[in-house]
Structure formats: structure tokens, C-alpha cells
């Protein structure tokens, strides 16, 4: 039997090491990782996604994205045929953004954020992973690999200005009820993981390892 290709896309500024605890049955699935690349000058989210999609060499793959990576895989699914799109700790449209992100868009406050974050691992970690990060900051430093200012400026603006207003009903959404970046109260139609925070790709890996194969094959 031909294995099902599964491509994983990490969250904002994160490296693929965030998936180190995720294991899918090798007889059924073959795992691949997509990595962030530095955006070119004036590159739109669509242009960037199109460039990254060229890294996918299999037909009808499963795309799994975490946080901002979830936004990317949804955009990719508009460009290439996919078997399934799964997002974890992410949003299906800008309607699921918390109030602070909507305010940031209206006031353009996001333009003030990035420069202070580039060399401030604590600030970057808090923005990427949520408030629960602080006590385990050293552990997570290794997961944040992209410190390039142009990438951070581009990524923050691309998230805040994401223009999808209507969710794709085919997207499978997995979300923690303790996510402090995208609070569950703003999220609809999802598999709720009890106690899952914004970094549940690391902390709830047992739930994910048990349920992802079923979600990929059955839905």
C-alpha cells in the first residue's frame, strides 16, 4: 500500500523541531517538514505560499499546520489539490481572531511590535507561544529558530491582515481549551483538547499521536 504523505508546517518563527514528539504509524504515513524561508521584498502571502508550495513533491498530501503555519497550509490548499488540511492551535478565518488582533489591525499597532522582538527571545516566545511559555523559556528557546527581522515584520503583518472571512468547511481544526493566543471562546467547529495550550503540539503530543491517524483516515 502506498503511504500517505503528511506535510507539517510549524508556527510563527518556529523550527520543525516542534514536531519532534509527533509520531504517526510508519506503515501508513510518510512525514515531511516544511520550513520557513525569508520572504522577498514586498512578497504577498499568496506569493510566499506559492513559493513554499513548490517544496511539496507528492500529489494530494495531507497538510498539517500549527498556529501561523495553519494559516499557511489553508492558503496552500487553495493552490494545490490536497487530501486533507488540518490546523492545530490556529484559526480558520479572521473572524476567529481575538479582540487584540482586530485592534492591532485597526490601529496598525503591529508595525510597532517586531523590532523589539528580534533579539528578545522572551518577547518572541510569548508572542509565538503565549503567556504559559515563561517558566519553560529555556526549554523552548531551541524551537524558535527564525530571528530575521524582515521575516518577523512580514509574518506579523501577514497574520494581522489575513483576509479570509469565511472558513473552509473542509478544514479540520484541533484546538486547546486553554489556548491564550487564540482563545477557545472565539473558535468554532473544532476538536477540543482539554487542557491544551497554544504549545500543545509539544505538551499534548500523546493526544495528537493517538488521534491524528484517525482524523486523517476517517474524516
Q: From first to last of its 219 residues, what are the pLDDT tens digits of the chain?
A: 799 999 999 998 889 999 999 999 999 999 999 999 999 989 999 999 999 999 999 999 999 999 999 999 999 999 999 999 999 999 999 999 988 888 878 887 766 554 444 455 566 666 666 665 555 656 566 777 777 888 888 988 899 899 999 999 999 999 999 998 899 999 999 999 999 998 899 999 999 999 999 999 986
Do the beta carbons of residue 196 and residue 120 sit within 8 Å?
no
| Predicted local distance difference test score (pLDDT) of residue 216 | 96
Q: Which residues contact residue 18 at a Cβ distance below 8 angstroms, ignoring those fewer than 6 apart?
A: 10, 11, 66, 143, 201, 202
3-state secondary structure 127-171: HHHCHHHHHHHHHHHCCECCCCHHHHHHHHHHHHCCCCCCCCCCC
List the grid coordinates of 207.
493526544
Amino acid at each position: 500500500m502506498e503511504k500517505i504523505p503528511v506535510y507539517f508546517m510549524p508556527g510563527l518563527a518556529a523550527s520543525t523541531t516542534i514536531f519532534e514528539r509527533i509520531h504517526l504509524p510508519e506503515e501508513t504515513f510518510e512525514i515531511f517538514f516544511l520550513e520557513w524561508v525569508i520572504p522577498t521584498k514586498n512578497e504577498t502571502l499568496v506569493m510566499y505560499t506559492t513559493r513554499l508550495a513548490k517544496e511539496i513533491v507528492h500529489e494530494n498530501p495531507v497538510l498539517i499546520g500549527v498556529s501561523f503555519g495553519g494559516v499557511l497550509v489553508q492558503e496552500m490548499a487553495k493552490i494545490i489539490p490536497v487530501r486533507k488540511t488540518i490546523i492545530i492551535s490556529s484559526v480558520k478565518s479572521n473572524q476567529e481572531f481575538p479582540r487584540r488582533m482586530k485592534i492591532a489591525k485597526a490601529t496598525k499597532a503591529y508595525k510597532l511590535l517586531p523590532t523589539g522582538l528580534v533579539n528578545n527571545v522572551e518577547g518572541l516566545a510569548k508572542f509565538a507561544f503565549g503567556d504559559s511559555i515563561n517558566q519553560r523559556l529555556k526549554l523552548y528557546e531551541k524551537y524558535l529558530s527564525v530571528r530575521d527581522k524582515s521575516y518577523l515584520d512580514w509574518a506579523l503583518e501577514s497574520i494581522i491582515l489575513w483576509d479570509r472571512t469565511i472558513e473552509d468547511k473542509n478544514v479540520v481544526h484541533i484546538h486547546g481549551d486553554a489556548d491564550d493566543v487564540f482563545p477557545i471562546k472565539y473558535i468554532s467547529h473544532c476538536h477540543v483538547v482539554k487542557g491544551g495550550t497554544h504549545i500543545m503540539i509539544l505538551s499534548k503530543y500523546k493526544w495528537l499521536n493517538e488521534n491524528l491517524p484517525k482524523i486523517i483516515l476517517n474524516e
